[in-house]
């Protein structure tokens, strides 16, 4: 089988794709575009195993919050299990076990020394804290939106074909209320918006189900209502961010669909600054 280079294409390890080729195929296309993740889930695409994710619960998130308050987002901080146990009103063994679970879940990095341990919250841990924050923000702040800044960039062009496929197209029309223009607007996010993007996970998505035809199996996706605002203040409100259902791949880029070609509707060119507001429309 020819290695897959279409960003929007991922093949299942089934009778049409031998298992031994799955990982090399995955690595060949994920470097091209976010849309590459929209076909079937490769092994450990999210970076956290199912068992590790299950081990991280509310108790561990409470520890993660305490470590963030101690400076764990800025870099390594030194902490002892006894100090952490006092803060948690728990035993040293319990404190140690929660740190181990955070480390196993990829939310924390640790380096044990003779008089304690150095810990630092990972990018995955920071995303998790952002998602928790956004949950509370939605509780206490009405009509909150997530504001993401970035610049327009050219994509690889794979989305044009796959957005038009019948299995996706029918769902776009039924669930989004329009037939998307066959192509996406790609936006490279600024660093602060890359971190803020994790808050999207707290929003209620519009699900796009996976499906298959005679040749391939296509994975599920999620869409979120989005409004694009240009540097001149012009706004386009009938758009959606589209992303694979379960992945953190290419979090520095958004792919946006709409009924019209957004570059023409908003007179956009590469490197133009835009602000994307993500959230429920009122």
pLDDT score of 141: 63
What spatial distance separates the first Cα and last Cα of the chain, rounded to whole Å? 48
Q: Per-residue pLDDT averaged across 39-57, rounded?
A: 48
Q: Looking at 11-15, 144-148, 160-164, which range is the least confident one?
A: 11-15
Q: In whole angstroms, give the CA distance from residue 199 to residue 91.
A: 33
All residues at 6 or more sequence positions from 13 whose CB lies less than 8 Å from its CB, including other chains: 19, 21, 22
Q: Looking at 65-69, 153-157, 229-233, which range is the least confident one?
A: 153-157
pTM summary value: 0.59
pLDDT score of 245: 77
Copy the structure tokens of residue 120.
Answer: 């630092």
Per cent of the chain over pLDDT 90 is 46
What are 252-264's pLDDT values in tens digits?
Answer: 899 999 999 999 9
pLDDT score of 26: 37
Domains of the chain: 50-126 (1.10.10.10), 145-278 (2.40.30.30)
pLDDT score of 228: 98
What are 175-200's pLDDT values in tens digits?
Answer: 999 999 999 999 999 988 888 887 88
pLDDT for 101 beyond 80: yes
């Amino acid at each position: 089988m020819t290695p897959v280079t279409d960003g929007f294409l991922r093949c299942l390890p089934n009778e049409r794709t031998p298992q031994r080729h799955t990982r090399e195929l995955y690595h060949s296309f994920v470097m091209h575009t976010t849309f590459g993740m929209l076909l079937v889930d490769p092994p450990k695409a999210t970076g956290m195993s199912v068992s590790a994710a299950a081990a991280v619960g509310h108790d561990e998130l409470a520890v993660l919050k305490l470590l963030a308050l101690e400076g764990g987002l800025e870099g390594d901080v030194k902490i002892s299990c006894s100090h952490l146990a006092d803060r948690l009103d728990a035993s040293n063994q319990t404190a140690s076990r929660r740190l181990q679970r955070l480390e196993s879940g990829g939310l924390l990095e640790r380096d044990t020394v003779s008089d304690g341990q150095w810990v630092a919250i990972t990018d995955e841990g920071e995303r998790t804290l952002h998602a928790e924050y956004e949950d509370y923000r939605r509780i206490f702040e009405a009509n909150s939106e997530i504001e993401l800044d970035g610049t327009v960039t050219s994509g690889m062009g794979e989305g044009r074909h796959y957005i038009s496929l019948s299995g996706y197209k029918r769902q776009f029309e039924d669930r989004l209320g329009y037939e998307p223009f066959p192509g996406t607007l790609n936006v490279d996010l600024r660093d602060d918006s890359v971190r803020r993007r994790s808050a999207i996970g707290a929003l209620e998505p519009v699900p796009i189900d996976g499906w298959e035809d005679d040749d391939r199996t296509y994975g599920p996706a999620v869409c979120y209502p989005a409004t694009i605002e240009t540097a001149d203040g012009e706004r386009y409100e009938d758009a959606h961010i589209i992303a694979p259902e379960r992945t953190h791949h290419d979090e520095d880029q958004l792919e946006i669909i709409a009924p019209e070609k957004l570059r023409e509707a908003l007179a956009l060119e590469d490197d133009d600054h835009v602000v994307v507001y993500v959230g429920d429309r009122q």
